[in-house]
Amino acid sequence: MTNLEALLNQYENGSLSRRDLLAALALLVAAPAASSAAQTAKPIGAVKSMNHVTAFVPNVQKSVDFYQGLFGMPILTRQGEGINLSAGSSFWGIYPAPAGATTGSVNHVCFGMENFDADTVLKQLTDRGIKGNIRMRGDTKELYFTDPDGIRVQLQDVKYIGGTGVLGDKPPK
């Protein structure tokens, strides 16, 4: 049975009002167009890596000790009061939570893109109705936006090394 037949059956047996039927029919008509538009929209670029995830925690050193003790994750970089632990080709950022926080939370996720250009990508996001912003960390542009579920996302070059804003193949010494 198709979606249309199911709607008509529900309307005919009285379990669906005329108003609800019309609303459902409008959605059925619009859904293929929306789905088709989403499928034909050209991607802004391919994500090549999960660059890092940053968490805010009440006690940075306690969390660092935990992850180093459990997984042997070495310190990749330090950034102010935060510490980035190496996780292979990506890293786990551990930073102080806002005052009064008693539990940790994920602040953002960062995806790596090859040949990343923050200004170009920001324009592409803006053209799609997505608000983003660029902030400078040293000479490196960091691009942030929020997804439809409220998750903060950062985009960066695949060579980005956290905490220093350095782009390169190896962590700084």
pLDDT tens string 116-130: 999 999 999 999 999
Give me the residue label for tokens 């292979």: 88
pLDDT at 164: 54
What is the domain partition of the chain in residue ranges? Answer: 3-40, 47-167
Give the CATH number of domain 47-167; options: 3.90.550.10, 3.50.7.10, 3.40.109.10, 3.10.180.10. Answer: 3.10.180.10
Check if the beta carbon of residue 149 is closer than 8 Å to that of residue 158. Answer: no
What letter represents residue 35's amino acid? S
Q: What tens digit of pLDDT does each residue of 59-101 get?
A: 999 999 999 999 999 999 998 999 999 998 899 999 999 999 8
Contacts of 122 (CB under 8 A, 6+ apart): 132, 133, 134, 143
Helix, strand, or coil (residue 29)? helix
Above 50 in pLDDT, residue 38? no
